[in-house]
Chain A
Amino acid sequence: MRLTQKKVLTKVHVLFLVQSCLIGTGILQIPQKLSAMGYSQAFMPLFFALIATINLWPMLWLNSKFPNNNLFQINEILLGKTIGKFINFLLIILFTIVCIDAISSYMLLIQSTALPEQTITFPIICFLALLIYLVRGGIFTIARFSIMAFFITLPMVLLTKWAIQKGEFSHFFPLFNFTLQEFYEASKNGYLSFLGYELILFYYPYIIQQKSAFKYATIGIWISGVLMLITTGVSVMYFSEWQLSNIEYAVLNIFKAGEYSFIERIDIIGMTLWIFLVYSTVALYLWAANEGFKTLILPKSQIHLYILVISIFIMLILPISKYLKMKIFTINNYIFYLLLLWPIFLILIYLFRKKQVHQ
């Protein structure tokens, strides 16, 4: 089962793959998702980054035991072919739903603000066509795209300047004004925006310097943590507690705070530029699903990607009620928390079956 992968990812690639996958569409809504904690949400991203760093450790430990295998292959080695393939199948569905979730929420946003008079089908087709082009470039292209996406979208941080000027610094205090229930509620909803680092389980075999992967993945996590801290911090300063819990896309409203003599609605530019962040996230999940699909059937064929994209397209245009969609996405998200704990479970099995595995 051990496959010799072509190692293409440098440590910088790892850093930005982790970083950019964390910042997808989730960051747009994070102040609302953390709103259970009111103004005390500001420093939650740092807490999340800490949890993610701790969570990363068992993942990379497991990977280090199987340096040439991704999680799909590890599943099959440790759990046997049948159970392994079944788990892999679930993972593929999980990742596909994440892609659908991210694309549909972004497209909904685009339709409601940038293209209110058009049907969204043709833009979705164009979006997916480019997605295929990106994913077909392989993990190396996605990693390089992530680097570009980071630097192209980074100047948007400057747009928070006006919100900071107009905001109220005293909103930060008192720092820990929340109950345990509120903290739990906010963590449960908010940590979903911090997912993406777990995909290192799948691209680890492609990393050249695998020993330094933890260091650079951690830097990636903390860069995203700081960017989210800026988002929550500025939101806390700029919005009232009511606004925090009721404004869905707080980041776009922060952009609107800017006042220029030549431009009125800079949030539309910001939102359309966000496509880079959406691509860097969705492409990585789709790539992982594609890799998993290859372990199930026809490993040498190119057809998997097209099947996945066509199924995503069908799901996106199916006339399903918003309520049902939200329910599917929420269940999917909670299953995702299981994925975070999955490596720990596999480590236990590995320790138990160590001799068998090495034989």
Chain B
Amino acid sequence: MKIIIRTLSGKWRKKINTDKSPNPEYTLQLLQLLSDNSYDIVFQKKLTSEGIVTIIFSSSLIEKMTLQAVVLAPLSHSLHQIHQIAERMQYNQISEIENKINAGYTILYFHETKQYLALDTYSAPIRAITNTEIESTVIGPQDAFTESLETNISLIRRRIHNHYLKNESIYIGNNKQYQVSIMYVDNIVNKKLLKKLKKRLQHINPPPLLDTAVLKQLIEDNPFSPFPQYYMSVRPDTIAHYLLDGRMALLINNSQTVIICPTSFFEMFTSIEDYYNRWTTATLLRSLRFFGFFITIMITPMYISTLTFHPEILPYELLLNLQESRSKVPFPPLIEVLFIELIIEVLREAGSRMPAKVGQTIGIVGGIVIGTAAVEAGLISNILIVLVATSALLSFLPPIFLMSNTSRLVRYFFIIAAGLFGLFGQMLAFAWLITHLLRIRSLGEPYMVPLIPRKWTDLLNSVVRFPMAYLKNRMGISKSQKS
């Protein structure tokens, strides 16, 4: 790697090839130059029984206690310990030494013997394992992933006591700077799908990979689709469940969410709690979520269609009631619906960005001011308020927040289609939706399973969840190995 660095005297120098260093002393100088302006990179000299040792470490990634226990104490009275556990580094591999420093290692340079050693002292402060706030459940474990990769892997390993659980680490990006961890159960996972996933990962060149959500978008089959094509969860039990079904999990450091692939459209409406509930309750809840998706995209467009194009659909009394409620409204139904739907979106967005205490105010503003006052002012009809509120509630039913967002977006297509052609437009949009869902693939596997099942046993675990005793087979989308 060639970089332009500044000399200690402050003058600019030409490009320096950091991969080539003529001698260990020069390496040390280069490292000092490279860490210029980074006050947390510490260079300390210590006198030991083997002469002067320069200690290089990042103080932001290492706790003082760890440094004392692993480096400073052994340096003063048991140097042989350090030689036993430390990793030997070549003085001309400057990039690697630098990466080690940035990964929380402590580098020791022995001036007498001209040796570089690296000690793993990473002990950056991490968040404790807490309850899940995004995917909370009433029954079942309450722990959630954190931003630490090691913690997340440990949370999964605690649930799968199996030596077949593998955790491969691959580096992606132009400079191989991002570590992605692929977890799978080796004797269950489909090897072809695993190969396909690895190939996809190796061929991407990510922008700053700050979260798995970015990675997910980069490896999706159809990046233009409004539908999320992989499941994302912060719950270790959900991930363990899918791993045991033959799926693969993708984890990266500093990200709380874990990607599961491949995933089907229907699985976006399932929650791990469905398996903790009795089968009857689970079936009811799954039906609500699944059919709720279709109701939420249809309910307000239906209002537009009926009032604009097909008033004859409604019986006289109901039509009268409806017309009466919007007798003062000056807008056509399409504008009226768009107006109130957008207000709901604004309320939701404002509510989610505000601090919790202020957020309550938003609820009052939304409920009273927008709801009651807008009707009294004659801007919208009260029947529409009921429909929009129902629709907004239904849109929050999917356990995956990305699907919840999608349902709200897709609704606008339907609203516009209904505004253009009434019921015909709505059905045209519905046919588009179905065609689109049929054309989407998740890691090359059809997205619309098990609505169109890959295996007949998939139907036992679809909208109706059969009792646990019947759920013996893995899902068809996994294409798992026979075991």
Which residues does chain A contribute within 8 Å of B436, judged by CB atoms?
A: 133
Contacts of A276 in B (CB 8 A): 427, 431, 434
Chain B residues in 8 Å Cβ range of A266: 313
Closest to A135 in B: B435
What residues on B are CB-neighbors of A273 within 8 Å? 427
Is B358 in the interface zone, CB < 8 Å from A?
A: no
Interface contact A144-B452, CB-CB below 8 Å: yes
Q: Known A137-B438, A144-B438, A148-B452; judge A110-B424 contact (CB<8 A).
A: yes
B432 x A133 contact (CB < 8 A) = yes
Q: Which of A40-48, A123-131, A350-358 faces chain B?
A: A123-131
Contact call B313/A115, Cβ cutoff below 8 A? no
Is there an interface contact between B313 and A137, defined as CB atoms closer than 8 Å? no
CA distance A275 to B432 in the complex (A): 11
Distance, CA A262 to CA B448, complexed state (A)? 33
Asked if A130 and B422 make an inter-chain contact with CB atoms under 8 angstroms apart, the answer reads no
Q: Tell me the chain A residues, 246-280 only, with Cβ under 8 Å from chain B.
A: 260-266, 268-269, 272-273, 275-276, 279
A110 / chain B contacts, CB cutoff of 8 Å: 424
Most A Cβ at <10 Å: residue of B312, B426, B431, B451 = B431
Interface flag for B126 (CB, 8 Å): no
A9 vs B314: C-alpha distance when bound (angstroms): 43
Which of A126, A130, A268 is close to B421, meaning CB atoms less than 8 Å apart?
A: A126
- A127-B428, A130-B435, A145-B435 known; A269 vs B313 contact (CB < 8 Å): yes
Choose among A114, A122, A141, A147 the residue that contacts B310 (Cβ–Cβ < 8 A).
Answer: A114
Q: Interface range on chain B: under 10, 10 to 19, 20 to 34, or 35 or more?
A: 20 to 34
Please count the residue pairs between chain A and chain B whose beta carbons lie under 8 angstroms apart in the complex. Answer: 86
* B446 lies within 8 A of chain A by Cβ: yes
Residues A261 and B422 in contact, CB atoms below 8 Å apart: no
The answer to whether B312 touches A145, judged by C-beta atoms less than 8 angstroms apart, is no
CB-defined contacts of A264 to chain B, threshold 8 Å: 312-316
A260 to B318, CA, bound (A): 12
Scoring B residues 288 to 323 as 1 if CB is less than 8 Å from chain A, else 0, what string do you get? 000000000000000000000110111110100000
Secondary structure call for the B interface: helix
Whether the Cβ atoms of B438 and A141 lie closer than 8 Å is yes
Interface string of B420-444 (1 = CB under 8 A from A): 1111111110011011101100000
Collect the chain A residues with CB atoms within 8 Å of residue B438's CB: 137, 141, 144-145, 148
Known interface pairs A127-B428, A264-B315; A114-B435 also in contact (CB < 8 Å): no
Which secondary structure dominates where chain A touches chain B? helix
How many angstroms between the C-alpha atoms of A264 and B420 in the bound complex?
Answer: 23
CB distance from A13 to the nearest CB of B (A): 9
A4 interfacial contact with B, CB 8 Å: no
Residue of B whose beta carbon sits closest to that of A134: B435
In the assembled complex, A118 has its CB within 8 A of some CB on chain B: yes
Complex Cα distance A221/B201, Å? 46
Is there an interface contact between A115 and B439, defined as CB atoms closer than 8 Å? Answer: no
Q: Are A275 and B313 in contact (CB under 8 A)?
A: no
Residues in chain A near residue B431, CB distance under 8 A: 130, 275-276, 279
Closest residue of A by beta carbon distance from B417: A126
B316 to chain A, nearest CB (A): 8
A163 CB, nearest partner CB in chain B, Å: 19
Instruction: Give the distance to chain B from A19, nearest Cβ to Cβ, in Å.
Output: 14
Residues of B near A145 (CB, < 8 A) are 434-435, 438
CB within 8 Å for A114 and B309 given contacts A262-B318, A263-B314, A272-B423: yes
Known: A262-B314, A265-B313. 13 other contacts (CB 8 A): A115-B309, A118-B421, A122-B420, A148-B434, A148-B448, A148-B452, A262-B315, A264-B313, A266-B313, A269-B423, A272-B423, A275-B424, A275-B431
Which A residues lie at the B interface, using CB under 8 A? 110, 114-115, 118, 122-123, 126-127, 130, 133-134, 137, 141, 144-145, 147-148, 152, 260-266, 268-269, 272-273, 275-276, 279
8 inter-chain pairs at a CB distance below 8 angstroms, sorted by A residue, are: A114-B309, A133-B432, A148-B438, A148-B448, A152-B434, A262-B315, A275-B427, A275-B431
